[in-house]
Each structure stands twice: as structure tokens, then as C-alpha cells.
Structure 1
Amino acid sequence: MEDANFIVKFLNWLMTFDRKALILSASAIGAGVAMIAGIGPGIGQGYAAGKGAEAVSINPKAGKQATLVMLLGAAVAETSGILALVVSLILLFGNPIVTQEGAVIILAASAIGAGISMIAGIGPGIGQGYAAGKGTEATGRRPEYQSSVIRAMFLGQAVAQTTGIYALIIALVLMFANPLVKLL
């Protein structure tokens, strides 16, 4: 019961702030939290780069092919970080939540929720980087199969990106078409 009283007191305290200031503050938190998604691409791209270096050391003659696969795969692995950056920039510079009508606490929570949803981009970033690393490794071993390796790598990376896209959809819905406001 004491925990419930604290929550009620905290929410009442929050409501003493200016509506716009509260939403903008929550948006800043959401923007910062969204960028946590950059962890995934960082890990994934590092893995791909490591596998690229390994492939070149094992088969220096396949260095150009392995490096190309590594760069292509690492670029795809960055997409979830880019999606998180887009959500952060919208929250900071083109925030549609500020002008929406509705309960300020729902709007503020939606701004934070949009950012939190982008954390789902960690998985695709790591998965796509892993695919890039394995593609690079395979190309280093068998450079004559580079085009087949790239095709399989891109297909796997596309499938791995789905959870990042789901996160983006949720973030965009919370920012632009919030169904929660209509429930009041």
C-alpha cells in the first residue's frame, strides 16, 4: 500500500509541471533511451570487421572480396541504429506529441515508450553483424562463391531486421497515431 501511495504522490508531483515541459522532458528521455539500440550495430559491425581481418589473414588473395562482403554486411547491420536515430531526431526536432491533445501523462509516457521500443534494435544489429562476419569468413575461404554468399547473407540480414522494423512501427504509432489518447 505504501508503494501505491508513493506512485500516486509522484504522479501528482509530475502534474504540477507545465504540460509542454513535461512532454518535452519525456521526449528527451525517450530520445536518449532510443540510442541504446546502437549497442547492437556496434557489436555486430565489430564482429564483421574481426571476421574480415581473420579472412584476410587466412587468405590474403581473397582480401578484396572478403573486405567487400564485410563492408556490405556491416552497412546493413547499421540499419537498426539508423532507425533509432530517426526516432530520436523526431522526438527532439519534429515532435508531434507536443501538439497532441490528451492526458499529459499518456503523452509523456508515449514519448518515453517510443524511445524504449527502439531498444529492440539491439538484436537485429548483432544478428546482422554475425551474418556479415560469417559471410566474410566464407568469402575468405571460397572467394569464387562471393555472389552466392552475399545473396544468402542479405536474405538472412533482411529476416533479422524484422524486429527492428516492428520497434520502429510501434515508435511511430506512439508518436503520430497514438491510440491510447483516444481511449480516455
Structure 2
Amino acid sequence: MPDLLEILFGWFSSVDPNALILAFSAIGAGLAMIAGIGPGIGQGFAAGKAAEAMGKNPEHGGRPATLVMLLGAAVAETSGIFSLVVAIIMLFANPLLSKGGIVLVLAASALGAGLAMIAGIGPGIGQGYAAGKAAEAVGKRPKLQSQVVRTMLLGQAVAQTTGIYALIIALLLLFVSL
């Protein structure tokens, strides 16, 4: 009776190792970009809250709320940028190709790096939510803009930590010798 591992992974021996690593890297890069969902949702929420603030207080709250929304939305995009960087590394400067080692482990590292970046969904949504609430608050009370922005940025910095953790794990999977 054939060995189960041979059945599942026997075809690896007939595949060019670099091609296998590149294939898993392409899948990992695609998976990494799933993290763009978070910033999209978060930024949409922030834009909606800024528009709502403009509608409620067009004379005094619209412009400050828009500025807060833009600043907050820019911060919310960072997890998407992290994912983009990891995806570009895997597609165009893949360090796994130059490593010797077990091809399956290297391919799984590429896939794992992409999967790790999915964690960027959370910070994107959270930071966008903070930006939206800040835009809403500034729309109601424009004179408090500097205090609201300070509080928003502090909260967004804390919310970004999981995105940074994901980036660190993805980079470790790509660059540390296994």
C-alpha cells in the first residue's frame, strides 16, 4: 500500500522547486490582499460619517469633519499598504527562491505570509470606525477638532498593532531561514 505522504505530495518531486514556491507565493499574495477589505469598510464608514456631519451642521461642521475623515482614512489604509508590500515582495523579490531547504516548507511559508496579512482587516475597520466617529464629533462640535483628532490618532495607533504583528510574522516567514 502506498504511503499517504507519497500520494499527497509525491508529485512535488516532478515539479520545479522554484515553480512550486512561486505558485504558492502567487496564492499567498492574493490572500494577503484580502486585508484590503478592512480599510475599504473603515474608510467607507468614515466618509459616511463625515457626510452625515456635513448634512447636520453645514455651516460650521462640514469642513472640519471632512479634514478629520481624510486624516483618519489615511491612517486606516496602513494595513492595506502592509498587505500590498508583502504581496509585492512575494511576487517580485521573493527571498524564498534563493533559499535552500525543503520546498514544501518554503512554499507553505509563502502561503502563510499571505494568510498572516489577512489580520489587517481588523485594524482597517477599527481605524475607519474611529475616523468616522471623530468626523461625527467634529461635525457636531467643530471647536473641539484638535482634541478629537488627538484622541482619534491615539486610538488608531493602538488599533494598528495587530496589523503590525501580521506584517512582522509575514516578513519573518519570508526572510528568516527555516
Query: Which TM-score tier does this pair reach, normalised by the shorter chain?
Result: over 0.9
Question: Partners of 2:6 and 2:91 in 1: how far apart?
Answer: 29
* CA RMSD between the two structures: 1.1
TM-score by length of 2: 0.96
Question: Partners of 1:8 and 1:145 in 2: how far apart?
Answer: 66
Question: Partners of 1:14 and 1:64 in 2: how far apart?
Answer: 59
Unaligned runs of 5+ in 2: none
The one-letter code matched in structure 1 to 2:154 is L
Q: Superposed, which structure 2 residues align to 1:140-179 within 5 Å?
A: 140-178=139-177
Question: Partners of 2:77 and 2:13 in 1: how far apart?
Answer: 39
Equivalent in the alignment of 1:21 = 19
**Pair 1:95 & 2:94 matched:** yes
Question: Partners of 1:47 and 1:127 in 2: how far apart?
Answer: 10
Equivalent in the alignment of 1:33 = 31
Matched residues, number? 175
* Mean Cα deviation higher: 10-19 or 46-55: 10-19
Question: Partners of 2:119 and 2:113 in 1: how far apart?
Answer: 11
Deviations 1:23-50 (A, max 9, x none): 0101101101000000000000000000
Question: Partners of 1:112 and 1:17 in 2: how far apart?
Answer: 17
Change (3 A) 1:70 1:99: same
Following superposition, the deviation at residue 14 of structure 1 comes to 2.9
Question: Partners of 1:111 and 1:15 in 2: how far apart?
Answer: 19
Deviations 1:80-112 (A, max 9, x none): 000000000000111100001110000000000
The ranges of structure 1 where at least 4 consecutive aligned residues each deviate by more than 2 angstroms after the TM superposition are none
TM-score by length of 1: 0.93
Question: Partners of 2:37 and 2:79 in 1: how far apart?
Answer: 10
Following superposition, the deviation at residue 119 of structure 1 comes to 0.1
Question: Partners of 2:57 and 2:13 in 1: how far apart?
Answer: 64
Identity of aligned residues (%): 67
Question: Partners of 2:121 and 2:6 in 1: how far apart?
Answer: 34
